[in-house]
Structure 1
Amino acid sequence: MTVRPDPTFHASPKLAMEAPAETLAYTLMLSPDGSQPDGLAVVDVDPASPDYGKIVHQVIMPYTGDEFHHFGWNACSSALSPLSGHAFLERRYLIIPGIRSSRIYVIDVKGGPKAAKIHKIIEPEEIFSKTGYSRPHTVHCGPEGIYVSTLGGGGADGTDGPPGIFIMDCETFDVVGRYEMDRGVQDKQYDFWWNLPRNYMVSSEWGLPPQYENGIVPEDLLSNKYGHSIHFWDLAARKNIQTIDLGANHQMALEVRPAHDPIKQYGFCGVVVDTTNLEGSIWTWWRDESGKFHAEKTITIPPEPADPADLPDLLKGFSAVPPLVTDIDLSLDDRFLYVACWGTGELRQYDVSDPMKPVLAGSVHIGGIVRRTAHPSGKPFAGGPQMLEISRNGKHVYWTNSLYSTWDDQFYPAGVPAAMVKADVGANGGLTLDPNFFVDFPKGYRSHQIRLEGGDCSTDSFCYPSA
């Protein structure tokens, strides 16, 4: 505990944008076959550094079979909440769940880029016994604790009861218990985020463990059995107050990105695929003056025709590559929404100054099931743009290329060796891949989510409007 608020905590998104630029990125490394332990890579992202674009430190875990996926900070700008904050916490620890093992690692990153080390390990039995949940997934630092969503309930296959969200103590890292008091119709889980001053949370759906752990289940997808709803919650009462079904054909409603400025009551959700036409889509959701939520499809991204000979078995019958919208991220000024099209190998940038009328502002291609576009350095890039992270100042976008080990193998059977790249953002939009930034990872690993030193655009929640 510090004697004054952490300088990386900011009252508003505008103040966070004016903070010093990041010099380090923390990137998850996973072993797809479980033959070696997963790890955390510390990457130098300072263009003035001789180690720019290189891994300067690694933390390798003591166990195998975790499958690292998403992770987050123990504390962030939400600690400045005027009602229930812990303003004297430090942004010091990374909370890293194993999506297969249900084990959670707490990594202390204080002391410089080469000082990161394991602080605590939370065994799966503690999560099972205190929550009845399994497969921990998304981590968000709230004003009074650490919130963790899960993708599984109880039992060996994770289908004994629905998955949900649980809370950890932000100082001891003990698992406290379930979040939900009344979940309503919610029976699947994926992402979640909130508007703290407005006292609401939104969550989304992927599927249950038998629908994703061994790869996508084509029969379930074509029968529209994956998640297709978003849920809205009274954050304090921990109660589901409204559910919006996006339509059964809109399969896998994944990332939710509320506007960062809490005075704005809207946000975005990415849908992986429309089973009627293979389109990807982005939905804008908002709350009206009466308190009711609405959602409307505001972006569609079409599939690209392809020769079946160039396609993996899963897609041969369609003669097309779906974009597969697997991640979205919103800049801190709420101006640009970035959309990862993992299937077609495209990163799209939309100007969402008017959230109901997004305008395509930039695009770059790299990787892709058919395109297989190389990096400007000439290095091959397998997979496609996947987990995105935006610098606080909005000038850079970083991304990796692995979705989930078994899904990687279905869509990219030749393999998805770990990669991390960066694009620079033009003052008025537009994207340019940095030819000098291509992170090489140890052999046998894949790469997934990224966190930036001092916070980033999918980490912090703000409690005060931008002036």
Structure 2
Amino acid sequence: MNLRPDPTFHATAQLAMQAPVETYGFTVMLSPDGSQPDGIAVVDLDPKSDTYGTIVHTVMMPYKGDEFHHFGWNACSSSLSPLSGHAFLERRYLIVPGIRSSRIYVIDVKEPLKAKIHKIIEPEEVFAKTGYSRPHTIHCGPEGIYVSTLGGGGKDGTDGPPGIFIMDCETFEIIGQYEMDRGKQDKHYDFWWNLPQDYMVSSEWGLPPQFENGIVAEDLLSNKYGHSIHFWDLRKRKNIQTIDLGANHQMALEIRPAHDPKKSYGFCGVVVDTTNLQGAIFTWWRGEDGTWQAKKTITIDPRPEDPANLPPLLQGFGAVPPLVTDIDLSLDDKYLYVACWGMGEMHQYDVSDPMNPVLAGKVELGGIARNTKHPGGGEFAFGPQMVEVSRDGKRVYWTNSLYSTWDDQFYPGQDGGQMVMARVGEGGGLELDKDFYVQFPKGLRSHQIRLEGGDCSTDSFCYPNV
């Protein structure tokens, strides 16, 4: 334990934007067929370094078949909450769950070039102490580590609904389930909160049989994936309101609240509208009467395409859907980045007015039937997927794998893991850095990114901007 708060903890988003520039990034690597262990790659992000843009260290796991996906820190700026007893933790450990194995690894990255496994939590402990399976999103809260899950109990994860459980942020022991009253929530995906306003928002993807072996076309076309967002009283651990975005808005995924805790709004990305193949972003907010509302504020149209150029799953539609699979919001709450994994595009929207977003920039890379190469000449498999923004908002990093079985359905015959970076113009706009192109080891794909000292989807702030 430190004698003073970790210098990477910041009271406000404003202060975090002034923090030192990241010099390392951490990226999960996954073996899509389970033939080799998954791992963590440490990437050099310092342009002054001789090894800039390369993998400088890896931590490989002792088991196979984990399928790493999302991961997060043991502690972050939320530790500065006046309700916290953990203000003196270090941002030292990465909590890395296996979405297929339900095994959880704790990785010590205090010295990035000597990163190592600190602890392994076996799936049997997860099942016994939570009743949940398929751990997914990690968020560091003021009193512990919150872990969302995609499965309930039983072999196929459908014995009871999935939910959130909490881990001790010092011992990494599993404490237990979060929910006291889940209301209508019966599926899960992402979650995030506003600590001073004491609310949480969660979203829905689908149950394990709907995603583990690939997308189930019949379920998608009959609108059986998740399409609601849930609002919670954070401390009472109670669902206080559920908003159905419409059954046609299939797979409500990433939740991105405004970083300034005075603001009572945020965004949710929807993968596909089954009536027209559009991708969509909803803005949600709290009304004057205290109830929550949501409105579709961004739509992204599909691109017509010769069926002969499409994977079998899409040939009957004659079009490439955007497939909005990730979104991220800059710390100043100005720019929302939207990954259109199907079309092979990264969009930047000015959301200074959250009810009226304006497209400010766009980059094309990869994509179904397009396969746009990186400006440095390298191939880019699949499309832009997990996106992470630097604290100062000047650099946007992304990788390319969605989920192993889904990669294979939408991009049959393709393989490979890449990580790239685009620079943000003074007045908006995006331009790929032709000199930053990370190729991951053969047989491994790449998913979520975490930046040294925090990033735009890691920390929640306890104090308002000045």
Alignment partner, residue 8 of structure 2: 8
Shift of 1:380: 1.0
The 8 Å contact of residues 139 and 149 in structure 1, kept in 2 or not, is answered as yes
* Separation in 1, partners of 2:414, 2:39: 19
Q: Distance in 2 between matches of 1:291 and 1:78?
A: 24
The letter of the residue matching 1:52 is Y
Structure 2 distance, partners of 1:85, 1:300, is 43
Q: Does 1:426 align with 2:425?
A: yes
TM alignment of 1:27-426, pairs within 5 A: 27-111=27-111, 113-426=112-425
Contact 1:78 1:85 in 2 (8 A): no
Gaps of 5+ in 2: none
* 1:402–1:416 CA contact under 8 A, matched in 2: no
- TM-score, normalisation: structure 1: 0.99
Separation (CA, whole Å) in 2 of partners of 1:278 and 1:170: 42
Residues in 1 aligned to 2:456 and 2:85: alpha-carbon distance in whole angstroms = 20
Deviation at 1:84, TM superposition (A): 2.3
Alignment partner of 1:314: what SS?
coil
SS state of the match for residue 315, structure 2? Answer: helix
Aligned partners of 1:196 and 1:136: how far apart in 2? Answer: 23
Cα deviation digits, residues 16-51 of structure 1 (max 9, x gap): 000000000000000000000000000001111111
Residue in 2 that maps onto 1:443? 442
SS of 1:458's partner is coil
Q: For residues 305 and 7 of structure 2, what CA distance do their matches in structure 1 show? A: 50
Separation in 2, partners of 1:291, 1:116: 46
TM-score normalised by length of structure 2:
1.00
Distance across 1 between alignment mates of 2:200 and 2:422: 31
Deviation at 1:333, TM superposition (A): 0.2
> CA-atom RMSD, angstroms?
0.5
Secondary structure (helix, strand or coil) at the match of 2:113 reads coil
Tell me the alpha carbon deviations over residues 183-233 of structure 1, each in whole angstroms, 9 at most, x when there is no partner. 001000000000000000000000000000000000000000000000000
AA partner of residue 19 (structure 2): A
- In the alignment, structure 1 segments of 5+ residues that lack a partner are none
Deviation at 1:423, TM superposition (A): 0.2
Matched to 1:20, the amino acid is: P
CA-CA distance at 1:414 after TM superposition: 1.5
What is the DSSP-based 3-state SS (H/G/I as helix, E as strand, rest coil) of the residue aligned with 1:173?
Answer: coil
Alignment-derived partner of residue 25 in structure 2: 25
Does the CA-based 8 Å contact 1:140-1:193 persist in structure 2?
yes
Aligned 8 A contact 1:401 1:416 in 2:
no
C-alpha distance in 1 between matches for 2:240 and 2:110? 40
Aligned equivalents of 2:85, 2:291: Cα separation in 1: 28
* Stretches of 4+ aligned residues off by more than 6 angstroms: none
Offset at 1:289?
A: 2.6
Kindly indicate whether the alpha-carbon contact (under 8 Å) linking 1:261 and 1:462 is maintained by their aligned counterparts in 2.
Answer: yes
Distance 1:332 1:283 in 2: 19
Distance 1:330 1:373 in 2: 25
User: C-alpha distance in 2, partners of 1:136/1:359?
Assistant: 35
Matching residue's letter, 2:162? P
Q: Distance in 2 between matches of 1:381 and 1:124?
A: 34
- Cα deviation for residue 286 of structure 1 reads 0.2
CA contact (8 A) 1:420 1:447 kept: yes
Provide, for residues 338-359 of structure 1, a one-character-per-residue CA deviation record: whole Å limited to 9, x for no partner.
0000000000000000000000
Q: Secondary structure at the match of 1:315?
A: coil
